[in-house]
Structure 1
Amino acid sequence: MPRADFYLIGKPRFREQPLLLVCELARKAVNAGQPLLVLAASREQAEALDDLMWSFDPDEYLPHQIAGLDEDEADVEVLIAPPDQSPPMRPLVLNLRDEPVPGGFERVLEVVPADPAARGPLRERWKHYQAQGLELNKHDM
């Protein structure tokens, strides 16, 4: 059964830089041997995440790239897709866009902003995934 995991940002370091949480979740996926597709909200966000994945942990490299730049992207462990790219869906997807992921995944990760005023779209996504029959989980980060 597909599932959706919502990660609520709480810790100060994630509040200051929400993309750090994305890096941590990507590291967990790579360490678990699960290729991850990150759906970025914008080209700028995709590039910022690409830069951060190079530097967030000086002792560990996360194999990653932005979709559309290289033909070998099917093999890369973390594929970052800006909105103008539509790579094939992967079993594990991290969604940073405003709309829910339509399907084709086994598990979707959603990052919930620290600011309660910004959480409206995520409540809608929660309801959407619930209506699709997904198993829902919430994690405080």
Structure 2
Amino acid sequence: MTRVDFYILPDNYPQSPLVYASRLIEKVYRLGHGIYVHLENEQDTQYLDEQLWQFAPESFVPHEIVGQQQSDAPVLLGFGNEPQHHGNVMINLSGNIPNFFSRFERVAEIVPGNKEMRTKSRENFRFYKERGYPLHTHNIKTP
């Protein structure tokens, strides 16, 4: 059964949730996992693509956007449809739960500090809980 982790950003978190996602992606990649990052739209996908190239000068996270080219990159970024192949971890940044989430061993949900997104994250938490998925929460400190 898919394990779901909620990463709760504080209200005063100074950066975009996509910036925090870059740190999480790097950490999960360094642990040897393949990752699919599910985003809301093309604009967020392009932003995260750029962010992964520049967020930390000493790091390198090989990644591709789904559909740009055939790739064996360990990190795939996409939105909309399910990727044809993916790793064992999905980081969901779309706000909505994609219908293919249970194909992954682990799902990470990043909970931003703003009220509207927290409400949506609570709905997602309830969805997973009502279906019996193992849930874990991580309160992230301000950097």
Q: Normalised by the size of structure 2, how large is the TM-score?
A: 0.88
Structure 2: how far apart are the matches of 1:90 and 1:130? 23
Paired residues in the alignment total 137
- Structure 1: runs of 5+ lacking an equivalent: none
| CA deviation profile, 1:41-61 (whole Å, cap 9, x unmatched) | 010000000000000010111
**What percent of counterpart residues are identical?**
29
| CA deviation profile, 1:30-51 (whole Å, cap 9, x unmatched) | 1110010000101000000000
CA-CA distance at 1:11 after TM superposition:
7.9
Q: Higher helix fraction: Structure 1 or Structure 2?
A: 1
- Number of the residue aligned with 2:34: 35
Structure 2: how far apart are the matches of 1:15 and 1:135? 30
- Number of the residue aligned with 1:136: 135
CA-CA distance at 1:100 after TM superposition:
1.4
- Superposition pairs of residues 88-99 of structure 1, within 5 angstroms: 88=84, 89-99=86-96
Q: Is the 8 A contact 1:66 1:82 kept in 2?
A: no
| CA deviation profile, 1:14-43 (whole Å, cap 9, x unmatched) | 532221111111011111100100001010
Q: Which moved more, 1:61-70 or 1:1-10?
A: 1-10
CA RMSD of aligned residues (A): 1.6
CA-CA distance at 1:2 after TM superposition:
1.8
Q: Normalised by the size of structure 1, how large is the TM-score?
A: 0.89
- Number of the residue aligned with 2:43: 44
Structure 2: how far apart are the matches of 1:91 and 1:35? 6
Structure 1: how far apart are the matches of 2:113 and 2:14? 6
Structure 1: how far apart are the matches of 2:108 and 2:17? 14
